[in-house]
Each structure stands twice: as structure tokens, then as C-alpha cells.
């Protein structure tokens, strides 16, 4: 398989020259890697609410995405909502798929593997007896999550598998979901 | 404050009669509460990929949302992407805000508290020396997450604060993020 790239440093849509330059820059100035991401949420009605994602902090200063991203969330009718968006727990699955896939493309590019297809289905099993308060032995969240990847590219099977494994080893969302993160909650009432 | 509701069982947009009927139904048939949620992701280019959310399993059968939800994710330019969507880690923050807020509205309705405003900002601190592989002592994921709520409604401050606390106690995403979930990954290579 031969792929012609206009920019020889670009593979899989990843500008590897910039990627390596970024790594070098952070190696020289580790504080640049301190980021804070944010979501601003507004309740609409019932289980329907909406988050706005735009501002973040990184590389020493306040920044913003090129545009504002807005996402609704809701419950389906079977969970007493109006289905104006996915459930919050479904967004967790999207986040995991997206993080593993972005990492995979970067790692493939760094290893000079050209990918032709990456698909995944992330499924999470949850027993709602937990959040409904009906069984104290059942946790509120997912009991387990499975990711099934299909990966195609110009490398042997074991090399393609190693890309997924390295992405898992360096995935922020995989770490958050498997190892947990402390969460503090502050409340202003009016 | 007096609020006139067309349906007397509806408060905060939550149909409390249906909510309590659902609880009773699950109490009688706990297996109905076994759900599986899913996201189907497709790599597009570089760090840009897209998830489709539609099908899920619950109350004993395969189901689907009323429409298909599609969300892109990407990295901003400063993280060597093209900013076609929020980062995966930002979707985690949205999921947390959405889950806590939906629960809060349900719990308020069950406790006959009428809410007039619920806003939150979720912020997550992350040191990218972890995912960049530059410091083995730095984790890949968020180091801490903070949620700051503003809640207004027709109840005393302590009652409003208790709504947030009860929502935290019953939040699926809060549990996932703070306690972690086992994740298995299967790879088909072609």
C-alpha cells in the first residue's frame, strides 16, 4: 500500500514534526503542560441540561477553542426524561472512545504506521438499582466497560495491536475511568 | 413563591408520578434495571474522531433514542489537533455536570422543591507531562476535578444544599469518576 502525503511530515492527518516539536518544547518547559479544562452547565428542565465548552487554560495562559461547543444531555422516556440528548453516562463512553482513538492516531504517526480505518464500540453495563436507591449493594456507576476496536493499517497485526496498547497506556480518559479522580463540589445557594 | 403547574404531578419538568411509578415497577422487577449503554466511534483524521449514540439495552430489550446523536472530538491546535470538537477529557466534565444536574432536578421534584436556576462549572486540572510520557510520576488523567454549583429555588439554603449532596450520593458519573470502573479492550486487526 502506498500513500502519498502532500506534507511528508504528516501521517494519519497528524503533523508529526509539530508533534515532536511540541514534545521538545514541553521537555524544556514542563510547566507549559499544566492545563485546566472546563464545562459550564445550565439546567433547562427536568433531566435536560446543557453544557458549553469553550475556555481552558494551558501553556501558561487562558485560551479558547476556535468555536463554542454546546451539548445537551437528558434521559430517554424509559428513564422519565424527554430524550433531548444522550444520557450523561453515554458521554463517558464517547470520551473514552475519543481519547483512545486520538492517541492511537498520534502513536501510529510517530511509529510511521499509516492507518486506513479505526472503529470502536464502547459499551457500559449498569444496574440502575444503584442510582434508584433500591439496592444498597449495587454501585451507582458502570459495573464494567468494554471497548471493541477494529484497526486497519499498513503494519502487521501485532504492530497494530501494540498501537492500541500504547494508546491505553497514555490515555487520560482511560486513566480517569479506571483509576478514579478526586472530585470536590462547592455549592452557592441563592 | 407560587408556581402554577398544568399537571399537578409535574415539578421542575419532572413527572413525579411517573418517576415514582417507575421506582415501584423496578422494585417489583429488579432485572428491568439492567442497562447497557453504547457509543460507536469512527476515526476521521488525526486526533479528530466522531461518536454515534443511539442504541441501548434496558428494561429487558434493545431500545433506541428517539434520534441519533453524533459528537466529534479533537485536540485544539496547541495540542496538535484541528479543534473540530472538544477534547475527550472535556466530555468527561460535561458528563459529570449533566449527571449531577439531572439528579438534582429529580430529587428536588421528589422533595417538592421548585428550582428556578441551576448552573455549574466543572473544572479539571491535568498535567500533560503524563500523557506526553515526559514524567513517569505524573498520571495521565485529571489530578482533581471541582464542581461549583449555583442553585436557586423555593427552599431554605440547607435544603438546597442537601439536594446537591443527595444527587452526588446517587450519581452514576460521580461514582464512575471518583471510584473507577474496570475497562476491557478487545482489538480486531485487519
Per-residue pLDDT of chain A (190 residues), as tens digits, is 445 445 668 999 999 999 999 999 999 999 999 999 999 999 999 999 999 999 999 999 999 999 999 999 999 999 999 999 999 999 999 999 999 999 999 999 999 999 999 999 999 999 999 999 999 999 999 999 999 999 999 999 999 999 999 999 999 999 999 999 999 999 999 7
Average pLDDT, chain A: 95
Q: Does A167 touch chain B (CB under 8 A)?
A: no
Please tell me the predicted confidence (pLDDT) of residue B6: 56
Please tell me the predicted confidence (pLDDT) of residue A190: 78
**Residue among B53, B47, B177, B73 at smallest CA distance from A122:** B53
* Spacing of C-alpha A175 from chain mean position: 11
Q: Do A123 and B37 touch (CB under 8 A)?
A: yes
Please tell me the predicted confidence (pLDDT) of residue A1: 45
Which residues does chain B have within 8 Å of residue A26's beta carbon, measured at their own beta carbons?
A: 128-129, 132, 134
Please tell me the predicted confidence (pLDDT) of residue B16: 94
Concatenated DSSP letters of A82-113: --SS--HHHHHHHHHHHHHHHHHHHHHHHTTP
Half-sphere exposure (Cβ direction) of B11: Cα atoms closer than 13 Å: 22
Shortest Cα–Cα distance, A160 to chain B (Å): 7
Radius of gyration of chain B (CA): 20
Q: Do A82 and A46 form a contact (C-beta atoms < 8 A)?
A: yes
Strand order across the beta sheet in which B183-189 lies: B61-73, B48-58, B34-45, A115-127, A144-153, B183-189
Dihedral Cα B48, B181, B91, A108, nearest 10 deg: -20
Please tell me the predicted confidence (pLDDT) of residue B7: 63
**Residue among A165, A175, A154, A105 at smallest CA distance from B80:** A105
* Spacing of C-alpha A83 from chain mean position: 23
Please tell me the predicted confidence (pLDDT) of residue B9: 85
Q: Do A185 and B79 touch (CB under 8 A)?
A: no
Q: Do A41 and B92 form a contact (C-beta atoms < 8 A)?
A: no
| Cα(A150)–Cα(B40) distance, integer angstroms | 11
**Residue among A26, A157, A182 at smallest CA distance from B179:** A182
Query: How far from each other are the two terminal CA atoms of chain A, in whole angstroms?
Result: 64
Dihedral Cα A11, A12, A14, A16, nearest 10 deg: -30
Q: Which residues on neighbouring strands pair with residue B145, listed in sequence order?
A: A183, B124
Q: Do B51 and A94 touch (CB under 8 A)?
A: yes
What are the distances in angstroms from CA A170 to CA A39, A104, A144, B45?
Answer: 23, 10, 20, 19
Please tell me the predicted confidence (pLDDT) of residue B1: 45
Q: Does A20 touch chain B (CB under 8 A)?
A: no
Say what the ipTM of the complex is: 0.96
Per-residue pLDDT of chain B (190 residues; tens, 9 = 90+): 445 445 668 999 999 999 999 999 999 999 999 999 999 999 999 999 999 999 999 999 999 999 999 999 999 999 999 999 999 999 999 999 999 999 999 999 999 999 999 999 999 999 999 999 999 999 999 999 999 999 999 999 999 999 999 999 999 999 999 999 999 999 999 7
Shortest Cα–Cα distance, B134 to chain A (Å): 7
Residue A163 phi/psi, 5-degree rounding, is -60, -45
Nearest-by-Cβ selection for B98 from A41, A76, A161: A41
Q: Which residue of B has its CA nearest to A154?
A: B190
Residue A8 phi/psi, 5-degree rounding, is -65, -15
Half-sphere exposure (Cβ direction) of A149: Cα atoms closer than 13 Å: 28
Q: Do A85 and B92 touch (CB under 8 A)?
A: no
- The SS3 assignment for A143 reads coil
Pairing label, strands A144-153, B183-189: parallel
Which residues does chain A have within 8 Å of residue B68's beta carbon, measured at their own beta carbons?
A: none
Count CB-CB contacts under 10 A for residue A26.
18
Q: What pTM was computed for the model? A: 0.96
Q: Which among B29, B83, B86, B146 is the top mutation candidate for probing chain A, defined by the most A β-carbons within 10 Å of its own β-carbon?
A: B86
Residue B153 phi/psi, 5-degree rounding, is -175, 180
Pairing label, strands B61-73, B48-58: antiparallel
Amino acid at each position: 500500500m502506498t500513500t502519498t502525503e502532500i506534507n511528508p511530515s504528516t501521517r494519519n492527518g497528524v503533523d508529526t514534526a509539530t508533534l515532536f516539536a511540541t514534545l521538545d518544547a514541553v521537555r524544556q518547559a514542563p510547566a507549559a503542560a499544566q492545563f485546566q479544562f472546563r464545562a459550564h452547565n445550565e439546567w433547562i428542565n427536568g433531566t435536560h441540561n446543557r453544557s458549553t465548552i469553550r475556555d481552558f487554560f494551558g501553556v501558561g495562559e487562558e485560551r479558547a477553542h476556535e468555536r463554542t461547543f454546546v451539548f445537551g444531555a437528558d434521559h430517554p422516556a424509559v428513564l422519565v426524561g424527554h430524550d433531548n440528548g444522550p444520557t450523561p453516562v453515554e458521554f463517558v463512553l464517547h470520551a473514552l472512545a475519543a481519547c483512545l482513538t486520538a492517541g492511537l492516531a498520534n502513536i501510529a504517526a510517530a511509529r510511521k504506521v499509516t492507518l486506513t480505518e479505526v472503529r470502536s464500540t464502547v459499551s457500559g453495563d449498569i444496574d440502575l438499582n444503584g442510582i434508584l436507591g433500591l439496592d444498597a449493594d449495587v454501585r451507582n456507576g458502570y459495573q464494567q466497560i468494554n471497548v471493541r476496536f477494529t484497526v486497519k493499517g499498513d503494519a502487521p497485526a501485532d504492530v497494530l495491536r501494540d498501537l492500541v496498547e500504547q494508546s491505553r497506556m497514555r490515555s487520560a480518559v482511560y486513566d480517569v475511568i479506571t483509576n478514579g479522580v478526586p472530585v470536590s463540589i462547592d455549592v452557592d445557594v441563592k
